[in-house]
Amino acid sequence: MKPFLSLSFGQRYQTLPPACYQRVSPTPLSEPYPVVINEALCAQLGLEPASLLQPAAVAVLAGCRLTEGMQPLAALYSGHQFGVYVPQLGDGRALLLGDTQAEDGTVWEWQLKGAGPTPFSRSGDGRAVLRSSIREYLCSEAMHGLGIPTTRALAIMGSDEAIYRETVETAAVVTRLAESFIRFGSFEVFYHRGQHDLLRELADYVIRQHYPLCAESAQPYQALFTEICRRTALLMADWQAVGFCHGVMNTDNMSILGLTLDYGPFGFLDGFDAGHICNHSDHRGRYAYQQQAQIALWNLHCLASAFLPLVAEDVLLAALQEYRHHFEQAYLQRMRAKLGLQQAEAEDGELISALLLLLHAQHTDFTLFFRRLADFPLVAGGVEAVRDLVIDRDLFDQWALHYRQRLQLENSVDGERRIRMQQVNPKYILRNHLAETAIRQAVEHSDYSEINRLQRCLQQPFAEQPEFEAYAGLPPDWASSLSVSCSS
């Protein structure tokens, strides 16, 4: 285990043409203090967690000073926001510090989010509020716990510095890490500016650093685009299967590596609602839960346009077609697993659709339903725990009849199926009210212990953790009045 300050940062992003970024110094957070340190991620990186609490380390993670090799920069990108092309976005409040290599050989890029304005900040202040920083921290770690590709969060540094949103809040800086933060919009910007040489250099860089297998293909750019489509499809299947809504699926928030990226007004479904809109500002429901797979495809079309100088149009269209196939296959596979099914039968799609219609009509809690369904017995009876979640018991019984027949068809064994189902149906998800409770304690009482507790629970979302039973229940009544907007 190394101390944080002994890390030496590399600058592989700067092997890209200078047009891809702007060097910027962070704006120090005034009188920073640690809010939370991610011990699990420290372990993965081979870092001593306590070393991040040293004043000099806190200063670095609050944008007050740099360490060996750090050369902060803001990356350029553009993107389609709510369907409209915005020619220039870029890191408005995130700075890439550089990269480090962990003992297992993985390379991590480090960003400070909320470390002050950049040339891409437009009218923004370059800051992030503590509230949204806690949400990003908790959710990226919750997603990681669920086994869903995501950027990670290593630490939050807080400050009493005032930040003006709808109300006055305080500032924080999140240290977030990923293999790369490159977005669909990173490609779009050079296509729309007609800078095709830069586009090609970016594609070459992405292949070299992140998709080395594509370099071995006879058509590397085609292989790259196809692989991005595939990873995006798998990510969408992951999101749908745990009831995660991203909230702002603009192309500048779509990772080129298929990671969950840029946590803003996200939300997990409580009661199942296919049309759930988690972003208060998304009036038309463009990014509603049931739209996500389709929107990802729309976003991939934007990326495909940007790839036109590199790959023939018909080839790009074929890859987009494959996206549908990958998504449907992956989604079906995850839903079968959620139901504990091991074989594939032609009618499984119908069984799943019927269940989702039922859950939607009854507004049944998505997470609890699947978790309790693990105890559904092959022979009659013993279904009260899950049945009680559905208001109209007759509707449940009708569906359960088909489900039971389907289980019998493959001679499913109760005990084995329960274990399988508990491994894919989380007991604990980051419900809005759980995040809100941690945020209120932090913001109102400077008590950060709930962030740690919740994170510990969400690291093992599939395990029974009796000490965290309270986190596994239905949301309290006050949760329905929570709303989340883009303001962060």
The count of C-alpha atoms lying within 13 angstroms of the C-alpha of 381, restricted to the half-sphere facing its C-beta, is 1
The length of the chain, given as a count of residues: 488
Phi, psi dihedral angles at 138 (to 5 degrees)? -65, -40
- CB of 92: closest distance to Mg ion in angstroms? 8
User: Any contact of residue 90 with ligand AMP (CB under 6 A)?
Assistant: yes
Residue nearer to ligand AMP on the CB measure, 34 or 114: 114
Residue nearer to ligand AMP on the CB measure, 74 or 224: 74
User: Any contact of residue 127 with ligand AMP (CB under 6 A)?
Assistant: yes
User: Any contact of residue 262 with ligand AMP (CB under 6 A)?
Assistant: yes
The one-character DSSP state at 68 is T
Tokens coding 271:
């009661």
User: Any contact of residue 262 with Mg ion (CB under 5 A)?
Assistant: yes
Question: Are 96 and 74 a contacting pair, CB within 8 Å?
Answer: yes
User: Any contact of residue 92 with ligand AMP (CB under 6 A)?
Assistant: yes
Total Cβ atoms within 10 A of residue 244: 26
User: Any contact of residue 161 with ligand AMP (CB under 6 A)?
Assistant: no
CA distance 58 to 281: 34
Residue nearer to Mg ion on the CB measure, 39 or 262: 262
CA distance 424 to 243: 13
Question: Are 33 and 52 a contacting pair, CB within 8 Å?
Answer: no
Interacting span for Mg ion (CB under 5 A) from 128-136, 248-256, 290-298, 451-459: 248-256
Tokens coding 4:
């944080």
Question: Are 155 and 175 a contacting pair, CB within 8 Å?
Answer: yes
Among 133, 150, 232, 253, binds Mg ion (CB under 5 A): 253
User: Any contact of residue 220 with ligand AMP (CB under 6 A)?
Assistant: no
Tell me the Ramachandran region of residue 248: left when phi exceeds 0, alpha when psi lies from -120 to 50, beta otherwise.
beta
User: Any contact of residue 488 with Mg ion (CB under 5 A)?
Assistant: no
Interacting span for ligand AMP (CB under 6 A) from 116-124, 230-238, 239-247, 367-375: 116-124
| 248 touches, from ligand AMP, Mg ion, none (C-beta below 5 to 8 Å by class) | ligand AMP
Among 20, 29, 60, 89, binds ligand AMP (CB under 6 A): 89
User: Any contact of residue 270 with ligand AMP (CB under 6 A)?
Assistant: no
Residue nearer to Mg ion on the CB measure, 263 or 289: 263
Nearest CA among 327, 353, 332 for reference residue 343: 332
Among 29, 42, 58, 93, binds ligand AMP (CB under 6 A): 93
Among 121, 333, 452, 460, binds ligand AMP (CB under 6 A): 121
- Tokens 């998800």 correspond to what residue? 429
Contacts of 322 (CB under 8 A, 6+ apart): 226, 229, 230
Residue nearer to ligand AMP on the CB measure, 127 or 417: 127
Question: Are 243 and 292 a contacting pair, CB within 8 Å?
Answer: no
User: Any contact of residue 125 with ligand AMP (CB under 6 A)?
Assistant: yes
Tokens coding 188:
């779009």
Question: Are 407 and 431 a contacting pair, CB within 8 Å?
Answer: no
- CB of 72: closest distance to ligand AMP in angstroms? 14
The one-character DSSP state at 484 is B
User: Any contact of residue 233 with ligand AMP (CB under 6 A)?
Assistant: no
**Total of residues contacting ligand AMP (CB under 6 A):** 17
Interacting span for ligand AMP (CB under 6 A) from 87-95, 102-110, 154-162, 340-348: 87-95
- CB of 42: closest distance to ligand AMP in angstroms? 27
Total Cβ atoms within 10 A of residue 452: 15
The count of C-alpha atoms lying within 13 angstroms of the C-alpha of 322, restricted to the half-sphere facing its C-beta, is 16
- CB of 122: closest distance to ligand AMP in angstroms? 6
- CB of 121: closest distance to ligand AMP in angstroms? 4
Is there a catalytic annotation at residue 204?
no
CA distance 300 to 224: 12
* From 91, 238, 252, 365, the catalytic residue: 252
Binding site for ligand AMP (CB under 6 A): 89-93, 120-121, 124-127, 248, 252-253, 262, 264, 486
Binding site for Mg ion (CB under 5 A): 253, 262
Task: Report, as residue numbers or ranges, the catalytic residues.
Answer: 252
